[in-house]
A and B are shown apart, each in its own frame.
Chain A
Amino acid sequence: AQSVSQHNHHVILSEAASLELGCNYSYGGTVNLFWYVQYPGQHLQLLLKYFSGDPLVKGIKGFEAEFIKSKFSFNLRKPSVQWSDTAEYFCAISGGYNKLIFGAGTRLAVHP
C-alpha cells in the first residue's frame, strides 16, 4: 500500500535550534517527493521537491531535505529555526497522475 509516515506529530523548539522532521514512505515504483508547509491561516505552500538527480534538495527559507532511497526516507532539515517557521509541515509523495499522498503532518512551534 502507498503511504507516508511522519514520525513526529508535534515538535517544540527554541529559536536557533536545529530542526529535523522525519518522513518515510511506502510506494512500489518511481516516486516524486515533496514537503509542503501550512502557516497559520495561510494556504499550503511548497517548500521543496525531489524528482530526480542530487538527493540533497534545497528549498525556500533555508530548508533542505535528503532523499535516501535505501531507507525510503525524505527528512526535512533546517540548521537554525526562527519563530516565523511555526507552522504545520506535510511530507507527500506522488506517482502517476500527480496524485499526492500526504503524511499526517507535523506541527512545529518555535518559541522566541
Chain B
Amino acid sequence: DGGITQSPKYLFRKEGQNVTLSCEQNLNHDAMYWYRQDPGQGLRLIYYSQIVNDFQKGDIAEGYSVSREKKESFPLTVTSAQKNPTAFYLCASSYPERNTEAFFGQGTRLTVV
C-alpha cells in the first residue's frame, strides 16, 4: 500500500538530547513537509522540501534540522536548542504542482522529560 510512514509512534527523550523522527513515503512525491501540532494551535510548518537535496525553513524552524538525501525520506531532528519540543509531529508529502493535495503520516508524539 502506498503511504507515509512515521516512526516511532511515541518517543520519550531526556531534556538536552537531540532526537530524530523518521518519515518515509512511497507515493513518489517530490515534496515533503514537517508540521508540529499543539493543542489549540492547529498545525504549524517546521520545514519543507520540494526536491531532493533542497529544503526550506517554515514558520517555526528554530531548534529543528532536516535532511533530504533521498526522495522517499525526510527525517526531522529535534535539537536541544528547541525550547519546547514536547508535541505531536506530522509529516506530509505531495506533488509540488499547485493544485494537488498533501497526504499525512500517522504522526510521532514526542515527550521530553
Interface of A with B (CB < 8 Å)? 4, 6, 9, 32, 34, 36, 42-46, 49, 51-52, 90, 92, 94, 96-105
Interface of B with A (CB < 8 Å)? 31, 33, 35, 40-45, 48, 50, 58, 90, 92, 94-107
Q: Which residue of A lies closest to B4 (CB)?
A: A43
Are the C-beta atoms of B45 and A43 separated by less than 8 Å? no
Q: List 15 A-B contacts (CB under 8 A).
A: A4-B42, A32-B98, A34-B101, A42-B106, A43-B105, A43-B107, A52-B99, A94-B102, A98-B31, A99-B45, A99-B48, A100-B33, A102-B43, A104-B40, A105-B40
Residues of chain A within 8 A of B99, CB atoms compared = 32, 51-52
Q: Return the contact of B48 from the options A42, A97, A101 (Cβ within 8 A).
A: A97
The answer for the CA separation of A51 and B101 in the assembled complex, in Å, is 10
The smallest beta-carbon distance between A3 and chain B, in angstroms, is: 10
Q: Return the contact of A104 from the options B42, B58, B96, B97 (Cβ within 8 A).
A: B42
Contact A100-B43, Cβ < 8 Å, known A44-B90, A44-B104, A49-B101: yes
Are the C-beta atoms of B41 and A100 separated by less than 8 Å? no
Are the C-beta atoms of A46 and B42 separated by less than 8 Å? no
Given contacts A43-B105, A100-B45, 4 further A-B contacts (CB under 8 A): A9-B40, A94-B102, A100-B102, A102-B44
